[in-house]
Amino acid sequence: MSVELVGREAEYAGHLLLAWPGSSLGLGVVQREVLGAMADMVESLLSSDAGMARCGTVRRLDVPAGPWSSVSAISLAGNPSRGQVWEALEDAFGACAGRVFVSAAAMPPLALDLVEAVVGAAVVSTSSTGTGGEVPGAISFRVLVADTERAAGVEQGARLVARALGRARAWTDAPGNRLGPSEFVEELCEQGRVAGLEVTRLDGAELAARGYGGITAVAGGSSQPGWLVRLDHRPPDVNARAPVALVGKGVTFDSGGLSLKTGSVMASMRRDMAGAAAVGAVMLALPTLRVQAAVRAYIPVVENMPGGSAYRPGDVVTLYGGRSVEIDTTDAEGRLILAEAMVTAFEDGAQEVIEVSTLCGAGVLGRHLSGVMGEDALVGHLLAAAHEAGEGLWRMPLPVQVREGLRSTAADLHQVVPGGEWDSPMIQGGAFLSHFVPEGRAWAHIDLGGQVTRTSTSGTVASGVPVRTLLRFLTGRASRNDHAG
């Protein structure tokens, strides 16, 4: 696979894909030059097609033969967000083959954002399922832009972001029998070292010896041990004393444990490690993107199974750091391992912790939004980064009543609020984790909910959310630190 940015002097061949901005804007000057005598006819066809008013609609055009083997148009009408543009292009590119000439020069409202989306969507739509890398030779894209010099400035960054997105998706979609805890940890550590990260990991025996009761309990029912992986990105000449920390939930398969899930729900539980996949992919991208901020990732990795040594409802588990938790359901395992990872991050000096997880199955915000809750300033920066990245993020409350409702008489905390059926599972998960945030430290919880997957031309696949948001946030944080200095 190759992606090349070209100007109006380029030679055209293969399939021509036009980016259609809507009838109010029409074809751009450069697109008219490409189409020549067919421009008016093409514009008339697209303007009269009601379906082309909807972003993502693709039409193959019946036009006279030219230098192209075929011509089609994709609608980017209706002032779409960056995320909508990216997804629309990705779906269109996924159906392409051979040589594709993409005319993206008619979208002044999106300008360089469109170039980023075109390049990124082209790369991720042809990513290798194993590594998130590009598949050589399968398809080639030539992208027509109005200003090749300015567009080249965003091209490389778009490629790197897309590779991170592809890597996160590949991990998330991997079957549990092929990417169990040990296999996932091995890939994380090996690729982390290759990327230039500092890598440390604790296995099941080490975790038990150090008092990580949560990870140990959740992993108890599986034949595979639990793990805690730490990845460090420490650029030279950057203050690493108080890095931002990322925490990602890595449950490679979640049967629910003894609180067994139903079969229809369980089938999708290979994706219960989407948070860890996103965090790991982001960390691997930081050195190549040259992000000038110290960042650490803490990734607890387990498999939640109902074996003979599984933990039970009614058990009291003491987590790393000393807090005890009364187990109400073994299907609320994620908050236990995340709490221990968060405690470790704060213990290591993190001033800001961003935790990403599929903590509840309730899609209270639907399929296009993830919930975020936590400290005001940090949440504000994440919302801004999500808006820039084109990923849906919505602030959720943390009512004190829910937080206090987790108090237990048998332990320090319940996993869930007893009798709290009317309290949102998403809010309960965030409220539980908030008990593990020291005073004066910033924390944010991103619950992916229904946004873990997206529906594409190839079916239901992992979305890779919030890879782009986290990369925008970390790049912006480095910039904020520069200005502060």
Query: 2-148 and 169-484: same fold?
Result: no
For residues 120 and 294, the model is more confident at 294
Distances (CA, A) of 374 to 170, 361, 406, 418: 29, 20, 17, 23
Instruction: Delimit the domains of the chain by residue range.
Output: 2-148, 169-484
CA separation for the pair 111, 153 (Å, rounded) = 13
For the 169-484 domain, the top CATH level (class) is alpha beta
**What pLDDT shows up at residue 24?**
87
CA separation for the pair 463, 164 (Å, rounded) = 12
CA separation for the pair 204, 228 (Å, rounded) = 9
Tell me the CATH number of domain 2-148, given options 3.40.50.970, 3.90.1300.10, 3.40.50.10590, 3.40.50.300: 3.40.50.10590
Tokens of 415: 């996993």
CA separation for the pair 127, 139 (Å, rounded) = 11
> What are residue 268's phi and psi, to 5 degrees?
-95, 5
**What pLDDT shows up at residue 136?**
46
Q: How confident is the model at residue 220 (pLDDT cuts 50, 70, 90)?
A: very high
**What pLDDT shows up at residue 14?**
83
* pLDDT (mean) for 152-167: 87
> pLDDT tens digits for 416-426?
999 887 788 89
- 236, pLDDT greater than 70: yes
Q: Please say if 60 is a catalytic residue.
A: no
CA dihedral of residues 320, 321, 326, 331 (deg, nearest 10): -40
Distances (CA, A) of 467 to 37, 172, 270, 378, 385: 43, 12, 19, 17, 11
From the candidates 8, 32, 234, 261, give the one annotated as an active-site residue.
Answer: 261
* pLDDT (mean) for 3-16: 77
> pLDDT tens digits for 351-402?
999 999 998 765 678 888 999 999 999 999 999 999 989 899 999 999 999 9
Could you tell me which of 428, 415, 190, 203 has the C-alpha nearest to residue 302? 203
- 105, pLDDT greater than 60: no
From the candidates 335, 403, 441, 472, give the one annotated as an active-site residue.
Answer: 335
Tokens of 165: 């997105």
Q: Which string of DSSP letters, residue by residue, matches 31-87?
A: HHHHHGGGHHHHHHHHHT-GGGGSTT-EEEE-----SSSEEEEEE--S---HHHHHH
Q: Please say if 335 is a catalytic residue.
A: yes
> pLDDT tens digits for 294-341?
999 999 999 999 999 999 999 999 999 999 999 999 999 999 999 999
Tokens of 116: 């980023």
Q: What does pLDDT average to over the chain?
A: 89
For residues 282 and 456, the model is more confident at 282
The residue count of the chain comes to 485
> What are residue 20's phi and psi, to 5 degrees?
-100, 115
- 483, pLDDT greater than 60: no
CA separation for the pair 232, 245 (Å, rounded) = 9
